[in-house]
């Protein structure tokens, strides 16, 4: 059984394929974490309940007395505020007396097969109940009547555990949640590096690694979205851990709003890591009988290094997070009109694009920004989701019919959570944007953010979108979000609930997205936020792919895609070939092929040579689709570690074929390039489809492949395919 309760020892043991996790019900019903690490058979480890005390007059429970135990240093399973645990808190609830002392103790538990969803929020799921088991631990604060349910779901076969928290008010008075994190992990050492993904627009998810230090360190967003600058992913890795070896803990939050991931190292050299909703500008009032659900966090442990941590995330997200028709069905190869036309297009130009694209083998034309209202530039019309018939006479029907006649599917762009001051919607409803009374709201990109925490606002946007999507044959929707949230407030929230705004906004976005994907299950949705500004697991529950970055330069994309792949699979990474970038079309295609693949250019401007290159890329897209989207990734040479080149390998689940990609970012004199491959069956024989050479998996992994004279110049690249001989 993946979850065991040892009644005699009063311990819970949770096992995945790669880890064991042990929780102890201690004296006075304190919940303690005794172990999280590589699999072990025991259900109890002695001597772990107490650590050295008196960090600074550490306090003791009056019943247990002045002995070794103190909440100040004990490995608390879910550290709370104000009751002698002075480290960073996962939970703080302000009660009717005005204090925020929170002290939860074990009351009961339940273990069952399967996994429940979270009302109103996205989360991972089971395809059948045998895939996972769930533990619910019920704890209470006896003084305030706050009841806390700690949820743990163990996906035993894939090395994943998910966690979340429910806080319920069982008293007869209101209380206020001031902070509620989705997970809290106490580790007995601080001998780890903290790995995170930082960035900005055009430079998303760069890998940063630094040793843990005493005190508090971490990442967060308070932009209203997960954001370009930090991603809701962190890992703790042994100092010597690399792609192939070493202990690694990975954590990813299934949430699209303000988040925080913090690690605190104390005088005992132990580490507490918490991850969840950012408590800055957060609060939630609970009336008697009400409850609050935190978002879900995904936890991975492995001794197989950073690469294996990534592969566990990838497999899990492909099978238990992404959903709907497009989870496993092959997605159409698209061309997007943005970089080819921007706002300057009409029916004739788009149909002309489609005719040329069809000759290249492309399967879908996406009409980007500029089709609605009076949208001829980015200064107006967001919120007016009706067709601009000056550009598109007769509406979308004639355009779509002509595009379909050419043999292509048709897609469209939206930015539903935004409103332009110069729009019919704003003039009709000037109070519908996010703002606070008495302040002139900040403006960004000539737009405000719509208050989708309000049901009436969501209903209006839904009705506009429903009309377009139900009356036209639309196969794809790109959902954009091109602003952060400032002046955060809703006209409908009373003063004592103002801090609920950010989370209610995200719940509103989820509600709107859920309506769309359930009403239009055949539409392929792709998320976007100025590129990769909202690349998080929650968005993947609604859109199986996300535009990775507005930066399509293939050399810059190496860094972005290497970083993104730390926890997100190739099937989720929107990647296109575009014009006017460094390198030739071969390298543009080879880099973009590590993703959903598509084009962002005017196909009419391609030379004859470029046309042949694109046709070959299209052929390879179809032939190797399953391998790229669902194979196992091995990062062989990282651009973060090597200034000259990058290399990666994707291996089929059956280990019967694989592809190797090498990109030279900067040439060097007399290179001696030997690349050792990974993830192969050492006993199998593999044929190099380029040279015809046959080598054993053992040779390719242990001796390596000599690539001295391949793609040696700056900007050059190669892809080599191998099949089982």
Closest C-alpha to 603, from 400, 350, 276, 319? 350
In angstroms, the CA 600 to CA 334 distance is 9
In angstroms, the CA 603 to CA 617 distance is 14
In angstroms, the CA 174 to CA 285 distance is 7
In the residue annotation, 281 being an active-site residue is answered as no
Q: Where are the beta strands (DSSP E) in 73-128?
A: 91-94, 105-113
Cα angle 254-255-258, degrees, rounded to a multiple of 5: 145
Is the Cβ–Cβ distance between 579 and 339 less than 8 Å?
Answer: yes
Helices (H), 454-605: 455-471, 501-519, 537-540, 554-564, 585-592
| Helix (H), strand (E) counts: the chain | 13, 39
Which two structure tokens, joined as six digits, stand for 463?
A: 């009705």
In the residue annotation, 553 being an active-site residue is answered as no
Catalytic site residue from 186, 550, 602, 632:
550
In angstroms, the CA 584 to CA 561 distance is 19
DSSP conformation letters of 561-628: HHHHTTTS-GGGEE--EESSSSS-HHHHHHHHTSSS-EEES-GGG--HHHHHHHHHHHHHHHHTHHHH
In angstroms, the CA 405 to CA 268 distance is 70
Q: Residue for token digits 């002309």?
A: 352
Is the Cβ–Cβ distance between 546 and 528 less than 8 Å?
Answer: yes
In angstroms, the CA 293 to CA 377 distance is 41
Question: In 3-state terms, what secondary structure has residue 194?
Answer: strand
Catalytic site residue from 480, 536, 602, 632:
480
Is the Cβ–Cβ distance between 208 and 199 less than 8 Å?
Answer: no
Output the CA–CA distances (angstroms, integers) from residue 227 to 230, 261, 299, 320, in the order listed. Answer: 6, 14, 21, 24
Dihedral-angle region of residue 142 (phi above 0 means left; psi in -120 to 50 means alpha; beta otherwise): alpha
Output the CA–CA distances (angstroms, integers) from residue 262 to 94, 214, 234, in the order listed. Answer: 22, 12, 9
573 contacts: CB under 8 Å, gap ≥ 6: 545, 546, 548, 561, 564, 565, 594, 595, 596
Catalytic residues: 480, 550
């Amino acid at each position: 059984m993946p979850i065991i309760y040892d009644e005699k020892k009063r311990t819970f043991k949770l096992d995945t394929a790669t880890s064991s996790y042990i929780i102890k019900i201690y004296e006075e019903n304190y919940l303690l974490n005794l172990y999280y690490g590589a699999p072990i058979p025991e259900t109890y480890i002695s001597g772990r309940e107490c650590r050295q005390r008196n960090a600074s007059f550490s306090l003791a429970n009056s019943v247990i007395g002045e002995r070794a135990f103190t909440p100040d240093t004990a490995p608390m399973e879910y550290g709370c505020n104000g009751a002698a645990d002075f480290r960073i808190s996962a939970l703080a609830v302000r009660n009717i007396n005005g204090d925020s002392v929170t002290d939860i103790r074990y009351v009961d538990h339940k273990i069952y097969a399967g996994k429940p969803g979270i009302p109103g929020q996205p989360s991972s799921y089971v395809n059948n109940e045998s895939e996972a088991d769930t533990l619910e631990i019920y704890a209470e604060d006896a003084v305030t009547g706050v009841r806390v349910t700690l949820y743990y779901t163990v996906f035993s076969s894939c090395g994943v555990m998910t966690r979340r928290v429910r806080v319920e008010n069982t008293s007869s008075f209101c209380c206020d949640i001031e902070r509620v994190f989705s997970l809290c992990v106490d580790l007995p050492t601080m001998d780890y590096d903290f790995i995170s993904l930082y960035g900005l627009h055009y430079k998303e998810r760069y890998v940063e690694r630094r040793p843990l230090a005493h005190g508090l360190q971490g990442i967060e967003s308070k932009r209203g979205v997960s954001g370009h600058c930090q991603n809701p992913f962190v890992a703790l890795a042994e100092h010597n851990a690399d792609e192939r070896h070493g202990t690694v803990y990975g954590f990813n939050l299934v949430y699209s709003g303000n988040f925080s991931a913090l690690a605190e190292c104390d005088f005992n050299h132990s580490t507490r890591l918490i991850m969840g909703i950012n408590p800055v500008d957060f609060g939630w009032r609970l009336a008697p009988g009400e409850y609050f659900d935190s978002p879900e966090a995904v936890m991975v442990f492995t001794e197989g290094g950073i690469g294996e941590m990534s592969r566990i995330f990838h497999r899990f997200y492909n099978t238990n997070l992404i959903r709907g028709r497009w989870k496993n069905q092959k997605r159409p190869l698209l061309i997007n009109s943005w970089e080819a036309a921007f706002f300057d297009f009409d029916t004739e130009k788009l149909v002309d694009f489609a005719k040329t694209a069809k000759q290249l083998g492309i399967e879908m034309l996406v009409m980007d920004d500029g089709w609605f209202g009076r949208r001829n530039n980015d200064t107006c019309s967001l919120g007016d989701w009706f067709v601009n018939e000056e550009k598109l006479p007769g509406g979308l029907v004639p355009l779509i019919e002509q595009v379909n006649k050419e043999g292509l599917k048709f897609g469209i762009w939206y930015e539903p959570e935004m409103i332009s001051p110069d729009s019919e919607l704003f003039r009709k409803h000037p109070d519908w944007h996010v703002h606070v009374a008495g302040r002139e709201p900040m403006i960004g990109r000539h737009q405000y953010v719509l208050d989708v925490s309000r049901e009436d606002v969501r209903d209006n946007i839904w009705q506009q979108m429903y009309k377009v999507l139900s009356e036209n044959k639309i196969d794809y929707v790109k959902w954009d979000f091109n602003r952060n949230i400032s002046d955060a407030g809703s006209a409908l929230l009373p003063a004592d609930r103002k801090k609920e705004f950010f989370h209610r906004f995200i719940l509103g976005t989820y509600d709107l997205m859920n309506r769309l994907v359930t009403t239009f299950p055949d539409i392929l949705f792709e998320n976007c936020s100025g590129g990769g500004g909202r690349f998080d697991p929650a968005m993947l529950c609604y859109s199986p792919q996300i535009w990775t970055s507005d930066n399509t330069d293939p050399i810059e994309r190496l860094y972005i895609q290497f970083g993104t792949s730390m926890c997100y699979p190739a099937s989720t990474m929107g990647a296109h070939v575009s014009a006017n970038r460094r390198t030739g079309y071969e390298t543009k295609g080879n880099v973009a092929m590590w993703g959903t693949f598509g084009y962002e250019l005017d196909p009419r401007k391609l030379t004859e040579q470029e046309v042949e290159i694109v046709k070959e890329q299209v052929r390879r897209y179809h032939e190797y689709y399953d391998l790229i989207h669902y194979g196992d990734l091995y990062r062989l040479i990282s651009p973060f570690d090597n200034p000259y080149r990058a290399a990666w390998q994707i291996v089929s689940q059956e280990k019967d074929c694989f592809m190797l990609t090498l990109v030279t970012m900067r040439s060097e004199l007399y290179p001696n390039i030997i690349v050792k491959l990974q993830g192969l069956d050492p006993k199998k024989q593999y044929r190099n489809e380029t040279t015809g050479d046959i080598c054993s998996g053992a040779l390719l992994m242990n001796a390596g492949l000599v690539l001295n004279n391949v793609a040696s110049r700056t900007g050059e690249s190669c892809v080599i395919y191998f099949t089982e001989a």
